[in-house]
Structure 1
Amino acid sequence: MKRWLVKILLVCALLWGGWWWIATGAMQKGLDAFWQGQRDSGLDVTVAQAARSGFPLRIGTTLRDITLSDPAAQTALKIPHISIASPVYWPGDVAVTLPAEPITFTAAQGPLTLMSDGMQADLNLHPGTALALEAMRGKARAVTLDAVEGRVLSVEEIATDVIQTTAPETYAISLVATGVAPGSLIRQGLQVPDAWADSFAPILADIVVTFDRPWDRSALRNSRPQPRVITINQLTAEWDQLGFEISGNLNVDNNGVPTGDVRVQVRNWQRIFNMITDSTDVPAQWTSTIESVLGAMSDAQGTLDLPVTLQNGQMRVGFFPLGPAPRIVIR
């Protein structure tokens, strides 16, 4: 009896180990296809090490010393370590973790270093061969962004949710960022008064985006789904005496050109206007004209209400042109 039990356990262990090996191999093949897609798009990609991990209860891959560089733009991104894991019983619940190690972005203007206490994104995928994205939840704490000259920005915590709606190609996106503090470079550049608060009130975003197709495994190997309808229900930020609120609706064509209306409200706009004009070389005659126009568009409480129209590839506020509209394309 004991011998039969040992044999059964041995067979189960072999089957379990075989399934784990096949599943981790499939994960690595998917990552290889993703990296190759980046190379095909013109990026240089190097991964120093890709190792299986998580046995026996997790299907995992650990990547070390990842570098993505764009020779044309002379930019590079270096990530020391990425951990990807999912339960062995369902590989569609994926956790992607970046540890508390510096991530470096290099550009012609100089390097930037991103640090945190760790970042994690949890992905829930629909069962099936397509593995369509059902939900993604990301979180990061104690985030800092530094340049050689000093601190650019710090954030206490960021939480983001991306939830698929009843329409497979539509996703509801929410964001909450607390303790967003402009660093010394921003405060000095804008000549922010020392008495101003160190950080923003919580920054909130509620956006619904309809893509041309759902996000699934094909996005790793082929082109990315592209936004076609963007509804900004809420995008708010408040820093000391300043407040910003954005809402609107945009339709995006096949070339990434948006059309629609966006409402931008700025409370106590005069303060930020003065800081910008004091820290830049805007001619005095232009400053006076712009200030008069903005003053005519604000209410008695000092809130500026700007209805921005995007049409035919251009942006305008009323009859005043603002220039070309930005293209909205996911590379």
Structure 2
Amino acid sequence: MTRLLILIVAAALAWSGYWAVAAWQLRQAQEDWFAARRADGWQATYADLAVRGFPNRLDSTFTDVALADPESGLAWRAPLFQMLRLSYRPNHVIAAWSGPQTLATPERRVTVESERMRASLVLRSGAPRALDRATFVAEGVRVVPETGGAWALAGLNAAAEITAASAARYRLGLSLDGLAPPGAPERLPQTLEAVRLDATVTFDAPWDAAAVAGRRPQPELIEIDTAEARWGDLRLSAQGRLEVDAAGVPEGRIDLRAENWRAILRLAETAAPLPPGVTETLEEALALAAGLSGDPETLDLPLAVTEGQLRLGPVPLGPAPRLLIR
């Protein structure tokens, strides 16, 4: 019995020592990361950093944390941010946000409020540790810009997972429910009931720790397997493939389908009347295009990008947007 007691005490002391060393190393690594960002010219500050969770967790809690990258112009500030992990699974991290956050780009500044916001990240072993898979969940989200109305979102689920084909190729999934843009006319549906996306994106480099502090991986190939949205009676769907060059210019085609397009045209005309004759002309043109698919209530149009120019069916829309990640 005495020997068993000694073994238990020795094991407890050994585990306590392991946890203390791991907690110290984690705190030191996080402090060093912030210091390295400041040395690169970033704003990287926090009021307090605490590592807790003994005996089985290593939970880091930052208060009044702020990050700003001068090169991209992106900035983020939050009153409370946590990184939670099990002490024996250091590659799996849970991130949790609490309180209103501030996001800023060179163009605008918004406040993000939410009832719940969490992310799960699993990193591959090795240095630098690349992203293996990740999920992000948010509920009761409000995005409030400095000027203009607020956007509301009932629920968001996003996921990314590395594929077996390449360390820089990721399968992406996105689900949005109850997306309510500001200023929708009363006679139009107030929310997009559901938005779904299933796609695969190949980047020019893996997403790893270096991607946060340095150059962001850029998309080279975007394959949209399924994209769907429901807005009242309207059903939108898309499939396609885009190749992206080093300057961010896409090339390819996305096939769009709109079901019950006449109902939305009627609602749009009621909410914002067009000049006399324009609605009829537009409806005739769309009906002709829909008739080519065999179903007059379904509109099929290709969204093509060629030599940097965007075209919806036969209609030119102008230059294509640059697909660059800052």
State the partner residue of 2:151: 153
Q: Distance in 1 between matches of 2:191 and 2:235?
A: 13
Greater CA deviation, 119-128 or 13-22?
13-22
RMSD of aligned alpha carbons: 3.5
State the partner residue of 1:186: 183
State the partner residue of 1:306: 301
Secondary structure, aligned partner of 1:246: strand
Are the structure 2 counterparts of residues 130 and 236 from structure 1 closer, same or farther at C-alpha, using a change threshold of 3 Å? same
* Structure 1 residue corresponding to 2:126, chosen from 128, 132, 135: 128
Secondary structure, aligned partner of 2:47: strand
The number of equivalent residue pairs is 319
Secondary structure, aligned partner of 2:201: strand
State the partner residue of 2:114: 116
Are the structure 2 counterparts of residues 301 and 44 from structure 1 closer, same or farther at C-alpha, using a change threshold of 3 Å? farther
Instruction: Please state if 1:57 is matched with 2:56.
Output: yes
Provide structure 1 residue ranges, at least 5 long, that are not aligned to the other structure: none
Instruction: Please state if 1:22 is matched with 2:14.
Output: no
Query: Conserved in 2, the CA contact under 8 Å of 1:122 and 1:136?
Result: yes
Secondary structure, aligned partner of 1:186: coil
Are the structure 2 counterparts of residues 65 and 20 from structure 1 closer, same or farther at C-alpha, using a change threshold of 3 Å? closer
Query: Conserved in 2, the CA contact under 8 Å of 1:265 and 1:304?
Result: yes
Which amino acid counterpart does residue 51 of structure 1 have in structure 2?
Answer: A
Q: Distance in 2 between matches of 1:83 and 1:20?
A: 15
Matches within 5 A, 1:163-312: 163-167=161-165, 168-178=167-177, 180-182=178-180, 185-187=182-184, 191-193=185-187, 196=189, 199-273=191-265, 290-299=282-291, 300-312=295-307
Report % sequence identity. 29
Shift of 1:158: 1.5
Q: Distance in 2 between matches of 1:61 and 1:173?
A: 28
Secondary structure, aligned partner of 1:58: coil
Query: Conserved in 1, the CA contact under 8 Å of 2:142 and 2:153?
Result: yes
Q: Distance in 2 between matches of 1:248 and 1:229?
A: 11
State the partner residue of 2:319: 324
Q: Distance in 2 between matches of 1:109 and 1:278?
A: 33
Which amino acid counterpart does residue 25 of structure 1 have in structure 2?
Answer: Q
Secondary structure, aligned partner of 1:20: helix
Which amino acid counterpart does residue 260 of structure 1 have in structure 2?
Answer: G
Matches within 5 A, 1:6-85: 9-10=12-13, 12-30=15-33, 32-33=35-36, 35-36=37-38, 40=41, 44-68=43-67, 77-85=76-84
Q: Distance in 2 between matches of 1:74 and 1:213?
A: 22
Shift of 1:145: 2.9
Q: Distance in 1 between matches of 2:106 and 2:126?
A: 44
Q: Residues 205-247 of structure 1, C-alpha deviation per residue, up to 9 Å, x if partnerless?
A: 1011111122122212321111111001111111211111121
Q: Distance in 1 between matches of 2:128 and 2:107?
A: 41
State the partner residue of 1:138: 136
Are the structure 2 counterparts of residues 308 and 242 from structure 1 closer, same or farther at C-alpha, using a change threshold of 3 Å? same
TM-score normalized with structure 2 length: 0.82
Q: Distance in 2 between matches of 1:87 and 1:72?
A: 34
Q: Residues 104-125 of structure 1, C-alpha deviation per residue, up to 9 Å, x if partnerless?
A: 3468998643222221110011
Greater CA deviation, 310-319 or 43-52?
43-52
TM-score normalized with structure 1 length: 0.81
Instruction: Please state if 1:103 is matched with 2:98.
Output: no
Q: Distance in 2 between matches of 1:128 and 1:72?
A: 28
Query: Conserved in 2, the CA contact under 8 Å of 1:93 and 1:124?
Result: yes
Are the structure 2 counterparts of residues 285 and 47 from structure 1 closer, same or farther at C-alpha, using a change threshold of 3 Å? farther
Q: Distance in 1 between matches of 2:108 and 2:154?
A: 25
Greater CA deviation, 226-235 or 284-293?
284-293
Secondary structure, aligned partner of 1:297: helix
Which amino acid counterpart does residue 299 of structure 2 have in structure 1?
Answer: L
Q: Residues 231-281 of structure 1, C-alpha deviation per residue, up to 9 Å, x if partnerless?
A: 011111112111111211001111111100011222233444455566669
